[in-house]
Structure 1
Amino acid sequence: MSFTGLFVPLVTPFTADGELAAEALEALAHAVLDDGAAGIVALGTTAEPATLTAAERRRIAEICAGACEQHGAQLIVGTGSNSTAGSIEALTELDPRAAAALTVVPYYTRPSEDGVVEHFRRLAAASPVPLIVYNVPCRTGRSLGADTLGRLARIPNVAGFKHPVGGIDEATMDFLSTRPADCAVLAGDDLYTAPLLALGATGAILASATVATRAYADLVASWCGSPDDDARRLHHALLPLSRALFAEPNPAVIKAVLAAHGRIPSPHVRLPLLPAGSAATAAALDAAGSIRIREAPADAGSLV
């Protein structure tokens, strides 16, 4: 199974009193798929999964699976932790409609790179669906070298990587030049999407795309098709929006924008996150307002 194009990691909408806003989540899921996303990521970082109950997580996965099923799109579900045994147990409980599981590199305990490889070897052997390794050193405290990335890519049932490493480093360039042809690499740093696609990434998982799905779908399609001036123009035009949406801890500003646009019932986040400040919200709304997207079918020139 290949993973290409744009995947949108959805926020978890809450009501003003902090309850799951299921109807708003379903509307968001259909909206991003209508606007060109290849699939959805449920229960990624953007969904605030650490603050959700088990029942809420199941409900969110069900809603997203239903939307993907209706659109013929792929569902990636975030799961796993820094416990190998616990991660295996979580994988066995995945919604059967999931196309893949987004599984994070073990965090906090900072295992050796050999330990990381063995962790994923065991997860991949037990998982009913392919794994996408979530390599996010700023959150896990564990960087991985190109050799380790290559070893992970060759584990049976590892389909690819979400790769937000904070820039385009030497390990990234080496890995992209030597990875197996059937290994997907999905850009995960919104600000560095175009450079990673230019180096050969197959797609992207971008939180900013919840706000401007069609533009980001165009961006990914432009680079994956034939990198040219249109793709570079799209990237440069979207930089201010991505920067503004990540001015405070994700997804506070994204939720503030979605609430201001009437797409979710409130900007509520759960502690330890705090709501976005007024200045950050205003800046993000201004950046979003500067983007006009045609309602016609997407093409590389639809962002002006």
Structure 2
Amino acid sequence: MSLRNQLKGTGVALVTPFNANGDVDYDALGKIIDHVIDGKVEYIVTLGTTGETPTLDKTEKTSIIKYTYLRVNKRVPVVVGIGGNNTKELENELGNFPLDDATAILSASPYYSKPSQQGIFEHYKALAKVAPKPILLYNVPGRSGRNVEAATTLKLAREVENIAGIKEASGDMAQVMKILRDKPEDFLVVSGDDGLALPQIACGMEGIISVAANAYPFKFSEMIRQCLRNDFVEAKQMNDKLIEAYDLMFAENNPAGVKAFMANAGLISNALRLPVTPVSDELFNKIKAYMVTNK
């Protein structure tokens, strides 16, 4: 089965739950995994940036990957996030992390260093040479500080065999449409913006890797399925009800916002690792009020 068929629909970028001591809470992680699978998401992404991966050490990352495979138990595909701005270190991680059971690798473009487009191309080309699974590019200039331009994405798609798709979170609809127009047929393009997924699928995207689906797996993934069926009237009605939730989730920080939703739902503790802190009391109360009136 092609990657485009395996990863069509909604993938959820899982949060990493912590307990009061700041350790990874594996009981809560298991609860989240079951919650999103029961909510009919099509696949799971572990160790994405929503999982607070910059604050996890290598031992924790390895344990989380292994636990995720075990808990998922092949019910849905699992994508593993491995990204950063140290190309050589990422090459080592691609050879050492347990990836046999992964469907693909999601790799965020290099952050902070602000490489040129040629640097971005060479970075991904180097990773693709050693990656044991297909790589999905992740363009998120709001966090990385550098946009992966459409021309660079298309060059990688055409010239580097193990580059299989992209999670596009630039928010630039013109850029999105260029990629969708000119990409190779088997190149997967999914959204990285919950609030833009509906119009982006209308332009030709094949799904999303979502933050909101942690809290609303069924509502969100059903809305995406309706989009993919070209039922945009029904999809818009569902999306309209979620717009305020998107705004609240990203008002201060991700994943602090979605963790507040999940804590209110009893799925996890409202715990994060520095430098990220929980949302303000004012925002937490707004989230709580929204959830009471939008069940």
Q: Which residue of 2 aligns with 1:134?
A: 138
Q: TM-score, normalised by structure 1?
A: 0.91
1:70-219 equivalences under 5 Å are: 70-71=74-75, 73-95=76-98, 96-154=100-158, 155-165=160-170, 167-219=171-223
Distance 1:159 1:286 in 2: 41
Deviation at 1:91?
Answer: 1.1
Quick check: 2:252–2:279 contact (8 Å CA) kept in 1? yes
Q: Which residue of 2 aligns with 1:230?
A: 234
Quick check: 1:131–1:157 contact (8 Å CA) kept in 2? yes
Pick from 240, 250, 253 the counterpart of residue 249 of structure 1: 253
1:236-275 equivalences under 5 Å are: 236-264=240-268, 266-275=269-278
Identity percentage of aligned residues: 33
Q: Which amino acid aligns with 1:103?
A: S
Structure 2 unaligned residues grouped into runs of 5+ = none
User: After TM superposition, which residue ranges in structure 1, 4 or more long, deviate above 4 angstroms?
Assistant: none
2:10 is aligned with 1:10: no
Quick check: 1:65–1:75 contact (8 Å CA) kept in 2? yes
Q: Which residue of 2 aligns with 1:301?
A: none
Aligned residues, how many?
Answer: 289
- Residue by residue, what CA displacement relative to the aligned partner does 1:260-280 show, whole Å, maximum 9, x if unpaired? 22111x211111111111221
Distance 2:66 2:221 in 1: 24
- Residue by residue, what CA displacement relative to the aligned partner does 1:101-122 show, whole Å, maximum 9, x if unpaired? 1111112111111121121112
Q: Which amino acid aligns with 1:287?
A: Y
Quick check: 2:15–2:50 contact (8 Å CA) kept in 1? yes
- Residue by residue, what CA displacement relative to the aligned partner does 1:268-301 show, whole Å, maximum 9, x if unpaired? 1111111111221122233334444xxxxxxxxx
- Residue by residue, what CA displacement relative to the aligned partner does 1:111-156 show, whole Å, maximum 9, x if unpaired? 1111211211121111000001010011111112221111122221
Please give the root-mean-square deviation of Cα atoms over the aligned residues, in Å.
1.4
2:15 is aligned with 1:26: no
Structure 1 unaligned residues grouped into runs of 5+ = 293-304
Deviation at 1:232?
Answer: 1.4
Quick check: 1:168–1:195 contact (8 Å CA) kept in 2? no
Distance 2:80 2:154 in 1: 23
Secondary structure of 1:201's partner? Answer: coil
Secondary structure of 1:90's partner? Answer: helix
Deviation at 1:168?
Answer: 3.5
Quick check: 1:80–1:91 contact (8 Å CA) kept in 2? no
Secondary structure of 2:136's partner? Answer: strand
Distance 1:228 1:275 in 2: 35
Deviation at 1:198?
Answer: 1.0
